Amino acid sequence: MSDDTDTARTSGPPSAAATACATATVTTARGDRVTYDLRGTGPAVVFVAGAGPFRAVDPVTTRTAEILAAAGVTTVVYDRLGRGDSPAAGRLDLDRELDAVAAVLDVAGGPAVLCGHSSGCAISLRAADRGLPVLGLALWEAPLESGAGETAAWAAEIERRIDAGDLEGATEHFMKDMPPEWLAGAKASPEWPAIAASVVSQRADAQALTWATRALRDGELSGIQVPLLAMTGTRTFPGMPEAAADLASAVPDGTAETVAGADHSWDPEAMGDRLARFVLE
């Protein structure tokens, strides 16, 4: 893997030195170029986004990474394949996304904690299951409340629509069980064409969720031997706390907790504090 620094910049308070941010790219084993922000020194956390977000539109994760860096943690926030500054063509499946995770773990300096958000939780679980150098899993609101068969059918329809070139339809289907105002807001936005175009990156999410819901139900997750912290917000959606409890129970060293947050997003200060304790203690 190659690593080419593009720019460096410094964040502001609380500690400019601790939160200095180097933006660079790393090339995966398949030749994809992944852009990331690297901050801090010490034990590492790599943030794995769910469906949609990337660095330029995700200030919550950036702020959390700054807080962690100031606490003595190395953080890597990267744009997933096909998003933001990590453009990628062709079939963006789960195996290809896991190669990107492997590349950013290498950037982090070796074994690290993966912090997954939403469907990024399933990608993180699969990375640990595949034997990538994962020291722990901090998972925020993993959407694993549906049955394995239902999830597989949902994912297959998303892939079918992507393969047919119906990117708006694929996006609508991906979001069908989310609050309806989310889809309505996306479609009303001038960014809707770009949002729909980015659904090609969500093939990996759909495949990861298919695997994770089945693995959760059939006991396959018991082979994950690293500590797992399954978190939900103080205001969340039906089924999320139960899914977190099921996930924590499915692994040998799992914990389910509530952390300040709402509407599928965490509070950066609360999350930064909880992740620092998870990594450093």
The pLDDT tens digits for 162-204 are: 999 999 999 999 998 888 998 999 999 999 999 999 999 999 9
Report, as an integer, the average pLDDT of 101-113.
Answer: 96
Look at 280 and 110; give whichever has higher pLDDT. 280
pLDDT at 8 over 60: no
Q: What is the pLDDT of residue 10?
A: 32
Strands 21-27, 33-39: pairing is: antiparallel
- pTM equals 0.92
Tell me the angle at which helices 240-250 and 203-218 cross, rounded to the nearest 10 degrees.
60
> What is the domain-level CATH number for residue 33?
3.40.50.1820
Q: Report how far residue 76's alpha carbon sits from residue 95's, in angstroms, rounded to the nearest whole number.
A: 20
For residues 112-118, average pLDDT: 98
Question: Sign of torsion, CA 235 101 44 83?
Answer: negative
* Percent over 70 (pLDDT), the chain: 93
Rounded to whole angstroms, the Cα distance separating 168 from 171 reads 5
In sign, the C-alpha dihedral spanning 39, 236, 240, 248 is positive
Tell me whether residue 98 is in a domain: yes
Q: What is the 3-state secondary structure (H, E, C) of 196-261?
A: HHHHHHHHHHHHHHHHHHHHHHHCHHHHCCCCEEEEEEEECCCCHHHHHHHHHHHCCCEEEEEEEE
User: Is residue 17 very low, low, confident or very high in pLDDT (cuts 50, 70, 90)?
Assistant: low
The tally of domains found in the chain comes to 1
Work out whether the CA dihedral 262, 120, 26, 71 comes out positive or negative.
Answer: positive
pLDDT for position 110 = 83
Write down the pLDDT at residue 250: 98
- Pairing assessment for the beta strands 134-140 and 265-266 based on DSSP bridges: unpaired
Q: Kindly tell me if the per-residue pLDDT of 19 is higher than 70.
A: no
Lowest mean pLDDT among 104-118, 177-191, 235-249: 177-191
**What is the pLDDT, as a whole number, of residue 5?**
39
Whether 233 is covered by a domain: the verdict is yes
Q: In what order do the strands lie in the sheet with 134-140?
A: 3-9, 21-27, 33-39, 74-78, 44-48, 112-117, 134-140, 228-235, 254-262, 265-266
CA distance 76 to 105: 8
**Confidence class for position 281, pLDDT limits 50, 70, 90:** confident
Phi-psi domain of 258 (left: phi exceeds 0; alpha: psi -120 through 50; beta: other): beta
> Per the domain annotation, does 217 fall within a domain?
no
At 42-51, the pLDDT tens digits run 999 999 999 9
Residue with tokens 């640990």: 128
Residue 135 domain flag: yes
Which residue type does 107 have? V
Domain assignment present for residue 71? The answer is yes
Task: Work out the average pLDDT over 196-221.
Answer: 96
Does a structural domain hold residue 73? yes
Write down the pLDDT at residue 18.
60
Question: Is 10 part of a structural domain of the chain?
Answer: yes
The tens digit of pLDDT for each residue in 117-133 reads 999 999 999 999 999 99
> For the segment 50-72, what is each residue's pLDDT rounded down to a tens digit?
998 999 999 999 999 999 999 99
> Is 160 within a domain?
no
pLDDT of 4 higher than 60: no
Q: Containing domain of residue 128, as a range? A: 3-144+223-280
